[in-house]
Amino acid sequence: MTGCGADESPLSPAELAERKMQFLFHLRSKGVTDRRVLEAMEKIDRGAFVRGIFAARAYEDMPLPIACGQTISQPSVVALMTQALDVHPRHKVLEIGTGSGYQAAILSQLARRVYTIDRFRKLVIAARALFEELDLTNITAITADGSHGLPEQAPFDRIILTAAAEDPPSPLLAQLRVGGVMVLPVGQSDTVQNLIRVTRTEEGFDYAELRQVRFVPLLEGLGNE
């Protein structure tokens, strides 16, 4: 990955400012109304998480390729998932699927502590470097198979998956605090998946379907990079 910060961007500062304004306007038009989520989306520059030839498209509402054959999610989906997760300042949050680190960075603005796991070491190392550069000190990025969760830090107030499983992995359900919320895409890969919200109650789990989405699959074991 080559360095490609704002100073190397092909966009002029005025164009960049205009695109960022349009970006936020577009999020609102997609139903992102939570003020804290919008503030986090404004503060965390998606341009920092998209490198190389795709950097100029960072403010477009589309997924973009990152290293290891993965993608940074569409920003309106990041915002809507974050809104559905309803993160509070005292929460401890677990994300499965670090990818570029963008979603974790957004969560870091809303939560006390964020743990994020990816099966590719290369992605975790790059995300860690970015978190340090951006001074996001409340994120811990870990290389592991996230379907087992992170038992040593459980229970979590909030859990978010940014890769699609056929069903919510049972270790993750077990690591959700009573009253806690998990947001995840479920369904077969390469078909339309459903974004669902699972709430843990004293008696069990409540499920709500939110919308259709398309994510890369949750895979077993570690990646080869």
**Where on the chain is the footprint of ligand SAH (CB under 6 A)?**
70-73, 96-97, 99-100, 102-103, 117-120, 123, 145-147, 162-163, 216, 218-219, 223
Q: What values do phi and psi take at 17, rounded to 5?
A: -60, -40
Separation between Cα atoms, residue 46 and residue 32, nearest integer Å: 17
Task: Supply the minimum distance, in Å, between the C-beta of residue 33 and ligand SAH.
Answer: 21
Considering the complex, state which of residue 86 and residue 145 has its C-beta at the smaller distance from ligand SAH.
145
Task: Supply the minimum distance, in Å, between the C-beta of residue 16 and ligand SAH.
Answer: 21
Considering the complex, state which of residue 99 and residue 180 has its C-beta at the smaller distance from ligand SAH.
99
Q: Parallel, antiparallel, or unpaired: how do β-strands 71-72 and 139-143 relate?
A: unpaired
Task: Supply the minimum distance, in Å, between the C-beta of residue 189 and ligand SAH.
Answer: 10
Separation between Cα atoms, residue 10 and residue 98, nearest integer Å: 27
Task: Supply the minimum distance, in Å, between the C-beta of residue 14 and ligand SAH.
Answer: 28
Grouping H, G, I as helix, E, B as strand and the rest as coil, residue 199 is strand
User: What are the residue numbers of the active site?
Assistant: 73
Here the tokens at position 138 are: 């409340």
Considering the complex, state which of residue 174 and residue 178 has its C-beta at the smaller distance from ligand SAH.
174
Rounded to the nearest angstrom, the gap between the alpha carbon of residue 7 and the centroid of all alpha carbons in its chain is 25
Considering the complex, state which of residue 38 and residue 67 has its C-beta at the smaller distance from ligand SAH.
67
List, in sequence order, every residue forming a beta bridge with 114; answer none if it has no partner.
93, 139
List, in sequence order, every residue forming a beta bridge with 64; answer none if it has no partner.
72
Task: Supply the minimum distance, in Å, between the C-beta of residue 173 and ligand SAH.
Answer: 15
Contacts of 37 (CB under 8 A, 6+ apart): 79, 82, 83, 106, 110
Residue nearest to ligand SAH (CB): 99
DSSP character for 91? -
Considering the complex, state which of residue 54 and residue 204 has its C-beta at the smaller distance from ligand SAH.
54
Separation between Cα atoms, residue 149 and residue 116, nearest integer Å: 10
Q: Which residue from 128, 136, 169, 126 is spatially nearest to 151, judged by alpha carbons?
A: 169
